[in-house]
Amino acid sequence: MKTTTKKQQFNTGFLAGLGAGIVATGFMLILNQALGGISLPEVFGSFLTALMPASMFDYLHQLIGGDAKHYLFYGIIVGQCLVFALSGGLYNLYLARVVHVAAVKAFYKSEKPQADMEVAPAGRQLQLYQGLILAFILWLLVGFVLLPLTSAGIFGVDLAIGLNNTLVSLAAVGMVYGLLFVSIQNWLATRGHKRKAAQDGEEAESGLTRRTVITRGLIIAGVGLLGFGAWRFITQGVSSATAPVSKLIQNYKNKIVPPVPNYGEIHPTRFLSPEVTSNDQYYVVSKNLFSDPTVNSSGWHLTVDGYVDKPFTLSYQELLALPMQQQYESMMCISNEVGGQYMSNALWEGVRLKDLLERAEVKTGAVKVVFYAVDDYSDSIHLDKALEPTTLLAVRMNGATLPQGHGFPVRMLVPGIYGMKHCKWLTRIQVVSQDYQGYWQERGWSDPAPIRLTSRIDTPLVGSSVPVNRLTYVGGVAFSGNKGISEVDISLDGGNSWQLATLKRPLSTLTWVLWEYPWLPTSRGFYTLIVRAVDMEGNVQDPNVEPPAPDGSSGYHTIDVSVV
């Protein structure tokens, strides 16, 4: 009777588990998008970022770029598929030992030298119920062990999708995996049974070849990763310029008498940011690795509760019926680097949070207001900030219904604070009488998170050339949260001297300010351009270079251009 070895049994199960795992993982993602089922890669991605210090997160973000979270997601997907494969290999090996134990014992009594490696008849077929048993084991393991380890609770009871949704979606994915595992395993076993048994020497050579392939694959992957890191380092080095901080801090004062703004006409210039960012160009950042939630307004409700006397719930239509307020407001992500693109401006319309809190009658002793989102995101602001008249629940953006990607049906607007506090896909507002640390605060980022004064050169572009003896408009934006901008200065000689830029009168005190300076270079060569700003309170932009983590970046945006 032909037999198979432990290695062959494991390899067959591993391949069957890998194939079934890939399909089951895809099915999980489809369920997540279509029906709101659980996405284990999202849960584990959130868990891994919680273990990562803010400085490491920021470093990886700068090294890899804005797609860093997508690479993390793909890595988790690969890991999940390998877990499925390993489970299939071990389970197949277990079945071979248990189901055919009698045959194994009889075979061990033979005189073949390698009898200790032979465990089961070749071509053994599994039954469907055996695949369902494997699925049930994995279902229990995920629900009672892995999800609690990620702080999601038993079977995801602490997730926004709820216990029942997690139970059902995990069970559906498990059934797909278990049934496919049996089908693929049986096909591989039958295919292997029809092959001639390989000679011992050929088997050894085959094993060597597999090891060689794996080793070379790891080497190639490592070289590719190093190459990618080197490319990012080189391109970042080429695309950015630096000026000595020691020069920039000479005679630096962090606060001065607020200057009178130099308002004037701004000339339309290519690459200068538009005063209002269109919805499709407005920056988007979220914690979600794969995709952001899609919310149906018909089933959505907003709950206002916690440390209040009169908690209540609103439907989407009830919220739209409340008095609305419009305001122009700019927003910036805390992960934005100096001169970065994670900054935009829009016209918003929504309900004042102050009105909702007054209706709920906040109790004496309340400290913070916590925001909860559909995607299990949460954050908080202090009560006094929540009661400011410009803190809104936005339902419209630039005259249109709030887009899904920007938090439909409702997102928070909290002027003066970084974008992570502007919670999207809002579903609950809770007043609390103690401190609360949100999603990013648990990962080491700032809780107060006031926007740090910043300015950016939009045009000319980094490394570009401008003509000699011809007027070139240098322009960009400056932003200080809810403190306005009173002055922007531009240096054309690496910080040795500064020129006063013209400001476009802002749409509101909550927005960025467009600035411009007419430059007429009279000699060819390379020039280092630097920009700095002063807000309406007289605070001067900090020249000391600091990374985004944990309080937001600082420093002067600096670029090199050539005059030809």
Do 250 and 386 lie in one domain? The reply is no
Confidence band, pLDDT 50/70/90 cuts, at residue 234 = very low
Confidence band, pLDDT 50/70/90 cuts, at residue 309 = very high
Q: Is the dihedral angle over the CA atoms 345, 346, 347, 351 positive or is it negative? A: negative
Decide: pTM greater than 0.85: no
CB-side neighbour CA atoms (13 Å) of 439: 23
Do 438 and 456 lie in one domain? The reply is no
Do 8 and 145 lie in one domain? The reply is yes
Q: Is residue 204 part of a domain?
A: no
Residue ending a domain, choose from 388, 414, 443: 443
Do 64 and 39 lie in one domain? The reply is yes
Q: Is residue 207 part of a domain?
A: no
What pLDDT was estimated at residue 467? 96
| Distance (Å, whole) CA 485 – CA 50 | 36
Do 301 and 410 lie in one domain? The reply is yes
253-274 exposure pattern, b = at least 16 Cβ within 10 A, e = fewer: eeeeebeebeeeebeebeebbe
Confidence band, pLDDT 50/70/90 cuts, at residue 54 = confident
Q: Provide the residue count of the chain.
A: 564
Across the chain, how many H-helices and E-strands are there?
13, 21
| Distance (Å, whole) CA 385 – CA 450 | 11
Sequence-distant (≥ 6) Cβ neighbours of residue 444 within 8 angstroms: 53, 54, 55, 57, 549, 550
- pLDDT, tens digit, 9 for 90 and up, residues 106-165: 555 555 544 444 445 555 688 999 999 999 999 999 999 999 999 889 999 988 888 999
- pLDDT, tens digit, 9 for 90 and up, residues 342-383: 999 999 999 999 999 999 999 999 999 999 999 999 999 999
Question: CA-CA distances (angstroms) from residue 57 to 60, 66, 331, 446, 503?
Answer: 5, 12, 21, 14, 36
Do 388 and 262 lie in one domain? The reply is no
Do 103 and 31 lie in one domain? The reply is yes
Average pLDDT value for residue range 324-338: 97
What's the chain's average pLDDT?
Answer: 87
What pLDDT was estimated at residue 53? 79
Do 433 and 464 lie in one domain? The reply is no
For 286-332, the three-class secondary structure string (H helix, E strand, C coil) is CCCCCCCCCCCHHHCEEEEEECECCCEEEEHHHHHCCCCEEEEEEEE
What pLDDT was estimated at residue 545? 94
Would you state the torsion angle of the CA atoms of residues 166, 171, 174, 178, taken in this order, to the nearest 10 degrees? Answer: 180
Q: Is residue 13 part of a domain?
A: yes
What pLDDT was estimated at residue 191? 79
3-state secondary structure of 486: strand
Do 358 and 249 lie in one domain? The reply is no
What pLDDT was estimated at residue 99? 62
Q: Is residue 461 part of a domain?
A: yes
Do 485 and 522 lie in one domain? The reply is yes
463's tokens: 């490394």
What pLDDT was estimated at residue 160? 83
129's tokens: 């119920």
CATH of the domain at 392: 3.90.420.10
Residue ending a domain, choose from 410, 425, 443: 443
- Please determine, for residue 434, whether its predicted confidence score (pLDDT) is greater than 90: yes
Radius of gyration of the chain (CA): 30
3-state secondary structure of 503: strand
What pLDDT was estimated at residue 107? 52
Strand order in the sheet with 368-373: 312-315, 301-306, 426-432, 368-373, 378-382
| Distance (Å, whole) CA 43 – CA 29 | 12
| Distance (Å, whole) CA 137 – CA 134 | 5
- pLDDT, tens digit, 9 for 90 and up, residues 262-277: 999 999 899 999 999 9
Residues forming a β-bridge with 303:
313, 428
Q: Is residue 277 part of a domain?
A: no
3-state secondary structure of 418: coil
What pLDDT was estimated at residue 123? 57
| Distance (Å, whole) CA 532 – CA 9 | 67
Q: What is the enclosing helix (H) or strand (E) of 367?
A: none
Choose from 2-6, 214-218, 320-324 the range with maximum mean pLDDT: 320-324
Do 364 and 459 lie in one domain? The reply is no
Residue ending a domain, choose from 416, 443, 470: 443
Q: How many domains does one find in the chain?
A: 3
Q: How does DSSP classify residue 159?
A: S
Confidence band, pLDDT 50/70/90 cuts, at residue 48 = confident
Check: CB of residue 161 under 8 Å from CB of residue 37. yes
Q: Amino acid letter at 478?
A: A
Residues of the chain above pLDDT 70, percent: 85
CATH of the domain at 261: 2.60.40.650
For 208-230, the three-class secondary structure string (H helix, E strand, C coil) is HHHHHHHHHHHHHHHHHHHHHHH
Q: Is residue 283 part of a domain?
A: no
Pairing between β-strand 485-491 and β-strand 499-500 as defined by DSSP bridges: antiparallel
Do 534 and 434 lie in one domain? The reply is no
| Distance (Å, whole) CA 548 – CA 339 | 12
What pLDDT was estimated at residue 531? 97
Q: Is residue 144 part of a domain?
A: yes
Check: CB of residue 275 under 8 Å from CB of residue 345. yes
> Mean pLDDT lowest for which of 87-101, 213-227, 542-556?
213-227
Question: CA-CA distances (angstroms) from residue 278 to 96, 222, 340, 388, 531?
Answer: 62, 41, 18, 26, 25
Q: Is residue 220 part of a domain?
A: no
What pLDDT was estimated at residue 189? 83
| Distance (Å, whole) CA 379 – CA 436 | 8
239's tokens: 């695309």
The residue range of the domain holding 183 is 3-197
